[in-house]
């Protein structure tokens, strides 16, 4: 069975890929300037920064978080090379 690929392209052109939403968020967490201790802390921090910018992210897991960020144009999300 073939694994899906998940890719995020940030506004500056930097991209991160991983085989699962959690692994993708873990890679983004490791590259975050705030150095959050967990993926959950990373998601909360990014949601807070979006809220300050006037956006509200509604999410309940890693996949919905990625989709909410994509919809808010925080970054581009590609799943198997296709935008959702």
Residue 3: pLDDT band with limits 50, 70, 90: confident
- Do the beta carbons of residue 58 and residue 51 sit within 8 Å? no
The pLDDT tens digits of the residues spanning 7-56 come to 999 999 999 999 999 999 999 999 998 889 999 999 999 999 999 999 99
The domain total for the chain is 1
Residue 1: pLDDT band with limits 50, 70, 90: low
- Determine the pLDDT at residue 4: 85
What pLDDT was estimated at residue 8?
97
Flag whether 84 is in a domain.
no
Which residues constitute the domain of residue 52? 6-79
Radius of gyration of the chain (CA): 12
Asked if residue 72 lies in contact with residue 78, where contact means CB atoms within 8 angstroms, the answer is no
Residue 1 domain-assigned? no
Phi, psi for 42 (deg, rounded to 5): -60, -45
Whether 61 has a pLDDT exceeding 80, the answer reads yes
Does residue 31 form part of some domain?
yes
Place of tokens 């590609």: 78
22: its two tokens: 């959690």
Is 66 domain-assigned? yes
């Amino acid at each position: 069975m073939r694994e899906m690929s998940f890719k995020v392209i940030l506004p500056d052109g930097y991209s991160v890929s991983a085989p699962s939403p959690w692994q993708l968020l873990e890679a983004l967490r490791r590259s975050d300037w705030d150095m959050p201790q967990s993926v959950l802390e990373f998601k909360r921090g990014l949601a807070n920064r979006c809220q300050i910018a006037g956006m509200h992210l509604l999410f309940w897991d890693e996949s919905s978080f990625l989709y909410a960020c994509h919809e808010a144009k925080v970054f581009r999300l590609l799943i198997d090379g296709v935008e959702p």
